[in-house]
Amino acid sequence: MDRITASIVGGSGYTGGELLRLLLGHPGVELAQVSSERFADSFVYRVHPNLRGHTRLKFTSSQELESCGLLFLALPHGVSQRRIGEFAGKAERIIDLSSDFRLRDPAAYMRWYGHDHEAREWLGGSAQFVYGLPELHRDEIAGARYVSGTGCNATAVILALWPLCRRGLVQQAVAEVKVGSSEGGSEPGLASHHPERSGAVRSFAPTRHRHLAEMEQELGLESGRSLHFSATAIDMVRGILATAHCFLCEDLSERAVWTLYRQDYGSEPFVRLVTERRGVYRYPEPKILAGSNICDIGFARDEEGNRLVVIAALDNLMKGAAGNAVQAMNVMYGWKETLGLEFPGLHPV
């Protein structure tokens, strides 16, 4: 295997730390640089203590970036689009984990993010950013130079509903996610302060969560019509549990639903269909997925109506962010898709 050189811009956050962990152990990657303006010249393990003894890399300023084969951008929203020309001059390929290049319609950024996009020419099109969910866009990612990350909540809901929506089977769906505190990032604030967060079950986006834009785009749903979404913070560090109440256009049996999901996900390396009938883990649960790149999907059929409840679970920092980005990298370079992502999660934790 020919190794590539890769660097990370914005490596001091939780997602950057996960990228570091994954890339340091990836057989196809030589990690060259990791940037952080705040921690420049400090060893990366001082910010990510789990990496003690695994690397002697130090953070650099993004102004000191050297050319490399692949650049991962793990920056706050708005930064990548302002500097994309500069970053493109540093690397043959880019994977941007922010929300800056996820939406194909430039007008959607004003609606969902409150500002015009500053690099419209980079949105969509075969030569520009591809939405980086391999389960939906594997062939496009394989030939791409520029790939966007995916929203963690969007990933869970899109994977949960894709087999139904692509067949036009969803009349209405109401999806709600319960999320851990790491989704809020590494910068402390009142919402993450321990006395405020501990024991909380807090609705923080009952309507108009920004990830809904990705869900509608990728599922092919009319904006504001077919899918309704809410997000709730709970007392957990990692993980997302998505519960989607789907009102179907057809009266499908449980066997028919399983057939659809097996057709779409039966050979997917990172989507597992949970089919157990008994036990505490008979439905997807994020606790057992911590550290893995796996999305578990299951469902329950309401026998007294046309409602199907689809449940999906994943680690928001892995399949919802860094792990999915590494999976996309593997696809881009034609490597085995599971390379560097074989960790199955822990039990118990």
Catalytic residue among 152, 165, 246, 295: 152
pLDDT, tens digit (0-9, with 9 covering 90-100), for 266-304:
999 999 999 888 999 999 999 999 999 999 999 999 988
Query: Looking at domain 153-316, which CATH architecture does it have?
Result: 2-Layer Sandwich (3.30)
Instruction: Judge whether 152 counts as a catalytic residue.
Output: yes
Residues of the chain within CATH 3.40.50.720 domain(s) are: 4-128
In CATH terms, is domain 4-128 a member of 3.40.50.720? yes
Residue 127 is predicted with a pLDDT of 60
Percent share of the chain, pLDDT over 90? 90
Q: What is the 3-class SS of the chain, one letter each residue? A: CCCEEEEEECCCCHHHHHHHHHHHCCCCEEEEEEECCCCCCCEHHHCCHHHCCCCCCEEECHHHCCCEEEEEECCCCCHHHHHHHHHHCCEEEEEECCCCCCCCCCHHHHHHHCCCCCCHHHCCCCCCCEECCHHHHHHHHHCCCEEECCCHHHHHHHHHHHHHHCCCCEEEEEEEEEECHHHHCCCCCHHHCHHHHCCCEEEEECCCCCHHHHHHHHHCCCCCCCEEEEEEEECCCCCEEEEEEEEECCCCCHHHHHHHHHHHHCCCCCEEECCCCCCCCCCCCHHHHCCCCCEEEEEEECCCCCEEEEEEEECCCHHHHHHHHHHHHHHHCCCCCCCCCCCCCCCCC
Residues of the chain within CATH 3.30.360.10 domain(s) are: 153-316
pLDDT, tens digit (0-9, with 9 covering 90-100), for 58-114:
999 999 999 999 999 999 999 999 999 999 999 999 999 999 999 999 999 999 999
The pTM is what? Answer: 0.97
pLDDT, tens digit (0-9, with 9 covering 90-100), for 56-67:
999 999 999 999
